[in-house]
Structure 1
């Protein structure tokens, strides 16, 4: 009788063996709505036109809707492999989902108003929106860092390569969080010193690094999961995941070098 060699954790396995819990269904539905919002604003851009880049464009509700929606769905899935209490995981996912809605909602609102969403202190309302987005970003950093710490403190469950994929994905995600924090910090300093336009453009060098590193926590675990559906042996699957981590890490390093040279 064959026995699986990867570590098992009852709560994580039960997440995948049973129907989704209400909180998970809610997170998936919320993520899907955010994705649809991003796609809808892509249609708005096609109809309305205007610049794709810059502090005021339809690009922001498109990219943020898609990115936050995919990230929420991905995080709901990958955290099922973490060794964390189900109630705590549910609570953290609920906060994360709410924060995603606030972030995308604020960005979308400002796009429809025709004003920048981030680093905008022109009016009291714009300041309130900008600060809300900044605080929401801080909440995201805390939550995602917490999940990353859990992944390293206790080995995640799953098929061959999943533990490596998750830990690598969360480690690379921390790069995305750090680059995002750096963009906000630099922009706030420039705004506070009276260089508003410079603040809007100061984030450009770090955007590729931020974007590339943001979705490793989805791509790498997805690779491990897809390989688990094949007939490849566990050692082979682990080697492929290791190679995938190396390639993704190289892409992040490349984006980091580019950011350093242009920052």
Structure 2
């Protein structure tokens, strides 16, 4: 790991540090949530700052690591990764700010400032989707030098991550429509039903490529490693489907 750190590009090191800071922010808000004794539910809970910090921190670090395997222009990857990292900071910062102000961060159009925050969060989601889409396109191109198991894992993880962003976009679209229609409480309730699916699909990019990487340290032939990765990916799809059926 020390060797990988020394070989990493400056943008990677910045992204890893930012991911650690965001993750740390999530842990801090977990402590605040427990110590304060406030509710874990609702749009005003410290849980929201916690989950955004933990999830974005983990995703920034994961995407930095996963995309280092892709064959693409170093400059293009730096631009995409830099944009993803910067927008992740904005998303977590705005959500955290609104939590501490005691107002909802999403679907909140009560004041001009709250409207600006809500729209910025939505636009940030669009930027994140664009960067992940570009990374996915790079992963789908032929890649020489990578084991077949890792190629499949990266493609699967990025495609599922795109699915997570589509779910997030649906949550935002439905929530905005309902909030603009005068029913913000229903907006929070409706969007909340998709949170479990959104969470599960967000982190396939960590689980499956990490498995493929770990399998490289076994004595198994590449054909067996690829089979294991494919079976785990199929199981992951079944988990997503089950979560969708139960909570969606």
Aligned partner of residue 23 in structure 1, secondary structure: helix
**Deviation readout 1:119-150 (Å, 9 max, x if unpaired):** 11111111111111111011111111111122
Match of 2:87 in 1: 99
1:33 to 2, 18, 21: 21
TM-score, normalising length: structure 2: 0.95
- Larger deviation, residues 94-103 vs 159-168: 159-168
Is contact 1:83–1:157 with CA below 8 Å preserved after alignment? no
CA RMSD in angstroms, aligned pairs only: 1.6
Report the Cα offset of residue 16 of structure 1: 5.3
Match of 1:179 in 2: 167
1:129 to 117, 121, 127: 117
TM-score, normalising length: structure 1: 0.90
Q: After the TM superposition, which residues 99-178 of structure 1 pair with which residues of structure 2 at under 5 Å, given as runs? A: 99-155=87-143, 157-178=145-166
Report the Cα offset of residue 61 of structure 1: 0.8
Count of residues in correspondence between the two structures: 246
Match of 2:62 in 1: 74
Match of 1:4 in 2: none
Match of 2:177 in 1: 189
Match of 1:254 in 2: 242
Instruction: Provide closer, same or farther for how the CA distance between residues 250 and 102 of structure 1 changes in structure 2, counting only shifts above 3 A.
Output: same
Aligned partner of residue 161 in structure 1, secondary structure: helix
Structure 2 residue 238 is the aligned partner of structure 1 residue 245 = no
Report the Cα offset of residue 24 of structure 1: 0.7
Instruction: Give, in whole Å, the separation in 1 of the partners of 2:165 and 2:223.
Output: 32
**Deviation readout 1:228-249 (Å, 9 max, x if unpaired):** 0122221111111111111111
Structure 2 residue 38 is the aligned partner of structure 1 residue 20 = no
